[in-house]
A and B are shown apart, each in its own frame.
Chain A
């Protein structure tokens, strides 16, 4: 047979095609690199142009303005063409190879590989969108013959499972929600000046938990996007600018946030006024501590003093509610004061501006109602005036003043200009003298005098004109301010309303809660006092408040002590508790008639004796307590066993614990409070009523004002005095100064339209025993339940009128305020809670030698053992 020589090398043609292909690719790459950075031309743009509009190619290629760029384009085009041609040639050549077993099997293999790759990519692409996550935390493995099963563990809680209720709600959610976590590094309940390691650690942990929770939500819900903004971060300003651009509402809300918060912004379709769905955007805020509350005192004390991070979970209910954007109407709180100076826009020292700010920042609406009017005309009478009204009145008067002044000035102007005209005119001196005779009054005008007068009067005229135009401007400003007052129609209506009581009722009807701050004793050392009788409300107002409460709406009374210095006591007027206090009495809240003085204040009193300059401002009183100090029993104390602890006290304790101490807020210091007792006239109730206490280093003084003859001092009531053993006896503290009661509305309030005038008269002596007797008269009659469901009512009273006074509230007071308001409005879910098991880092008790052994053993012993074993084996292999 003929044996032909085999060639190892392929043909020149094949080599040429392959070389061409490789060269083409290289040229393409070079051209692309060169063209990429050419200013004025975008490579991507050019390529897309080429792809869409092939006719553009020749023009671009022959465009000679930028030689370099043109060369690059040529390279790209030629390179691509060569590479594609070569590829095609090889492919076609490959297709046309020898037939035979190889080809079939080869194609088979290629197909199989391609299928495998496609399957791989496809399966993963599918699972990217369709997947399930299983939470193995909080479970244990049990053997349920013959299969193993995961059952709930008794020792641990699942960490990544949502409660069914929340899941059900989330599944119905539609639309997008944006979650913004805003870290200001300022936590509420942070009463130290700077955050410490615990605060930072808690912050980081909470951010993590938020991320996790949103991740969980994402499994069920619609679009969730999370953004974390850290003020200390470099990109923070840029991120905020972005938000301001896209979402100004959200940016505003973020700016206004006082503490670390989580914002939820969602757009939901809600039925609009005409029935058609309207996209409503809502922004909700949740502060970090509403999600997890740091318990700093427990953190520091954990593990036998070694410290741990302890967080109190507040339940994911509030979180879920924000996400679901359950639109909650802002509760409206009315502040009832007696003078403009005492309102939230009042005078610096007496203002309630801080109260308003704190409430508004935390989702409340605030409205001031001034309860007395006619301060300028002698004795003030009852009123119900909103601040808008007073402002309106004030502006109206100003306007009238301006108008009057302008009127006068106009006349003057007219006169003067007439005069000047006359002087400047062609009239002869005689004529002038005749005309101006009444003014000249016997004097004679000559030429020089005439000229002099003109010279004097003209500038005066100018000045007058200027003055008048200024006045006009100011007058117009005032008018604008007047017209800018919102609710002009309502205002007009309100001003027309002369019936105070009806007006008050109408104002109250909008509100959900009333706070009555009655600041009385401001400083006992100097005798600064607002007499209590000034705060008294008349019958109409009392009735309106009673009906307000009968509807189940809460009242927060801040009633300061009623003691007055002797110089004031000679004024006539009714004494004893006013209608509101009587209403409180009927619910079991009784106010003491003394002022509580603290032992630490004695120094201030003795200083005052010596010098009138001493005001006692630097005296520190002990902070208020949330729990009666152990070991002291009150005269008529409630039986504490079997009662749930007071909800407000409990919540405040959680907040206080976050700040580092368990039963008081260091900065909550009340000076000159009044005792407030709970007398269980309508049954003891299922939780304790007293929630705020004055420290034991105090006594209740009936005359707390020093004068030249005496300084207030503790003088215990003697046994032979009629007050001995009663609540009014002078004893040492502690005293309850805050009471919160939840009860049913007394039946008498709901049907009896007349106030109990007889009771009021009897109470002139301010003897609490009588008050109790009267209060007992309003016990619910037996057949009341036939009338339908009795509304429940919550009221609270604190014996300090100036508690929330000032331009800004300290964090302690703010927490106190918010806790009290939330409880009063029955928004219990917002109170800080400690009923969930606390979260903390797991700890292992290892120490000393054992710890050392574990630490070193793990690092050294195991690898050393491996090395040992290896050496042994290799030695055996080599030498045996």
Chain B
């Protein structure tokens, strides 16, 4: 589903991502792991189409992110790290707009809105102005937005950042559920999250892929933490 080949991204002289390659087959939940500043967000942004890679290729469902951006993005539901939203809009209005932006109309749009609102537990706050929502609810709105067009791939950048434990658990539960229907690539620096939700982990350090493997295997290897610390110390 997701195919990344020799992806490199320079910010001026600074190489944020160097020669990263990996594959995510359909239906897999992959965790992107790495210390802060490792290049996780950059890679996801390139995949989502917000940034353009300096060199290398990335394709989503066969559509090249650089040369066929609209088609690629249509298959992606992206949730950025800071979860930016329009504070002056109401929740349903916002989702209504995003659905329209992604090509949904009429009854289909109304139905999908009802669905994601229910799924992300936003039913009570449908008519609240986004500016008045707490962080947790905002994350849910972001997630709802990512889901609204029923994309094949979900790219979630630190989906549980800043949430309280209950919300974290609920979100992880949701992600596990979604993992059954969508391909998910999520990034985090919380190891337990990866262990709980993902089937595969890719560890990134200094802009390069340090390790990539199934979570089960890595667990056997001494635990994720062990692997992580070992890699980052080098």
Interface on A for B, CB 8 Å cutoff? 1, 3-8, 10, 14, 98, 100-102, 105, 877-878, 880
Interface on B for A, CB 8 Å cutoff? 8, 10, 12-15, 18, 52-55, 66, 88, 127, 129, 205-208, 210, 234
B206 lies within 8 A of A877 (CB):
no
A-B contact count (CB 8 A): 38
Q: How far is A45 from B118 in the complex, measured between Cα atoms in Å?
A: 79
Q: How far is A3 from B207 in the complex, measured between Cα atoms in Å?
A: 9
CB distance from B172 to the nearest CB of A (A): 30
B129 lies within 8 A of A877 (CB):
yes
- With A101-B66, A877-B129 known as contacts, the answer to whether A6 contacts B207 (CB < 8 A) is yes
B54 lies within 8 A of A98 (CB):
yes
Please name all residues of chain A whose beta carbon is closer than 8 Å to the beta carbon of B66 when the two chains form the complex. 101
Q: How far is A67 from B127 in the complex, measured between Cα atoms in Å?
A: 77
- With A3-B205, A10-B13, A877-B129 known as contacts, the answer to whether A102 contacts B55 (CB < 8 A) is yes
A100 lies within 8 A of B55 (CB):
yes
Q: How far is A313 from B13 in the complex, measured between Cα atoms in Å?
A: 74
B14 lies within 8 A of A100 (CB):
no
- With A3-B206, A3-B234 known as contacts, the answer to whether A102 contacts B54 (CB < 8 A) is yes
17 A-B pairs with CB atoms under 8 Å apart are A6-B14, A6-B206, A7-B14, A8-B14, A10-B12, A10-B13, A98-B54, A101-B54, A101-B55, A101-B66, A102-B10, A102-B52, A102-B54, A105-B52, A877-B88, A878-B129, A880-B127
Please name all residues of chain B whose beta carbon is closer than 8 Å to the beta carbon of A6 when the two chains form the complex. 14-15, 18, 206-207
CB distance from B109 to the nearest CB of A (A): 22
Please name all residues of chain A whose beta carbon is closer than 8 Å to the beta carbon of B127 when the two chains form the complex. 880
Q: How far is A264 from B53 in the complex, measured between Cα atoms in Å?
A: 69
> With contacts A3-B234, A102-B52 known, what are 4 further pairs, Cβ within 8 A?
A3-B210, A6-B14, A6-B207, A877-B88
**Which DSSP category, helix, strand, loop or mixed, fits chain A's interface?**
loop
Chain B CB within 10 Å, residue with most, of A4, A105, A878:
A4
Q: How far is A100 from B7 in the complex, measured between Cα atoms in Å?
A: 12
Please name all residues of chain B whose beta carbon is closer than 8 Å to the beta carbon of A3 when the two chains form the complex. 205-206, 208, 210, 234
B55 lies within 8 A of A4 (CB):
no
CB distance from B72 to the nearest CB of A (A): 16
Please name all residues of chain A whose beta carbon is closer than 8 Å to the beta carbon of B8 when the two chains form the complex. 100
- Closest B residue to A3 using CB positions: B206
CB distance from B234 to the nearest CB of A (A): 6
Please name all residues of chain A whose beta carbon is closer than 8 Å to the beta carbon of B129 when the two chains form the complex. 877-878
- Closest B residue to A878 using CB positions: B129
Q: How far is A880 from B12 in the complex, measured between Cα atoms in Å?
A: 48
- Closest B residue to A1 using CB positions: B208
Chain A CB within 10 Å, residue with most, of B13, B18, B208:
B13
Q: How far is A100 from B208 in the complex, measured between Cα atoms in Å?
A: 19
Q: How far is A380 from B234 in the complex, measured between Cα atoms in Å?
A: 139
- Closest A residue to B231 using CB positions: A3
Closest 6 CB pairs of A and B: A100-B55, A102-B54, A3-B206, A10-B13, A8-B14, A6-B15
Chain A CB within 10 Å, residue with most, of B12, B14, B127:
B14
Q: How far is A751 from B66 in the complex, measured between Cα atoms in Å?
A: 106
Please name all residues of chain B whose beta carbon is closer than 8 Å to the beta carbon of A8 when the two chains form the complex. 14
A5 lies within 8 A of B206 (CB):
yes
- With A3-B234, A6-B15, A10-B13 known as contacts, the answer to whether A101 contacts B53 (CB < 8 A) is yes
CB distance from B49 to the nearest CB of A (A): 15
CB distance from A99 to the nearest CB of B (A): 9
Please name all residues of chain B whose beta carbon is closer than 8 Å to the beta carbon of A105 when the two chains form the complex. 52
Please name all residues of chain B whose beta carbon is closer than 8 Å to the beta carbon of A10 when the two chains form the complex. 12-13
CB distance from A81 to the nearest CB of B (A): 26
- Closest B residue to A100 using CB positions: B55
Q: How far is A41 from B175 in the complex, measured between Cα atoms in Å?
A: 78
Q: How far is A7 from B14 in the complex, measured between Cα atoms in Å?
A: 7
- Closest A residue to B39 using CB positions: A6
Chain B CB within 10 Å, residue with most, of A1, A3, A5, A878:
A3
Q: How far is A473 from B12 in the complex, measured between Cα atoms in Å?
A: 100
Q: How far is A7 from B12 in the complex, measured between Cα atoms in Å?
A: 12
CB distance from B89 to the nearest CB of A (A): 10
Please name all residues of chain B whose beta carbon is closer than 8 Å to the beta carbon of A4 when the two chains form the complex. 206
Please name all residues of chain B whose beta carbon is closer than 8 Å to the beta carbon of A101 when the two chains form the complex. 53-55, 66
CB distance from B67 to the nearest CB of A (A): 10
Chain B CB within 10 Å, residue with most, of A1, A5, A878:
A1
Q: How far is A7 from B234 in the complex, measured between Cα atoms in Å?
A: 16
- With A3-B205, A3-B234, A5-B206 known as contacts, the answer to whether A100 contacts B15 (CB < 8 A) is no
Q: How far is A6 from B207 in the complex, measured between Cα atoms in Å?
A: 8
CB distance from B210 to the nearest CB of A (A): 7
Please name all residues of chain B whose beta carbon is closer than 8 Å to the beta carbon of A98 when the two chains form the complex. 10, 54-55
- Closest B residue to A4 using CB positions: B206
Please name all residues of chain A whose beta carbon is closer than 8 Å to the beta carbon of B234 when the two chains form the complex. 3
CB distance from A720 to the nearest CB of B (A): 110
- Closest A residue to B210 using CB positions: A3
Please name all residues of chain A whose beta carbon is closer than 8 Å to the beta carbon of B55 when the two chains form the complex. 98, 100-102
Q: How far is A862 from B53 in the complex, measured between Cα atoms in Å?
A: 52
Q: How far is A101 from B66 in the complex, measured between Cα atoms in Å?
A: 10
- With A6-B14, A6-B15 known as contacts, the answer to whether A100 contacts B54 (CB < 8 A) is yes
Q: How far is A431 from B75 in the complex, measured between Cα atoms in Å?
A: 155
Q: How far is A8 from B18 in the complex, measured between Cα atoms in Å?
A: 14
Q: How far is A880 from B18 in the complex, measured between Cα atoms in Å?
A: 51
- Closest B residue to A5 using CB positions: B206
Q: How far is A383 from B54 in the complex, measured between Cα atoms in Å?
A: 110
Please name all residues of chain A whose beta carbon is closer than 8 Å to the beta carbon of B52 when the two chains form the complex. 102, 105
Please name all residues of chain A whose beta carbon is closer than 8 Å to the beta carbon of B12 when the two chains form the complex. 10
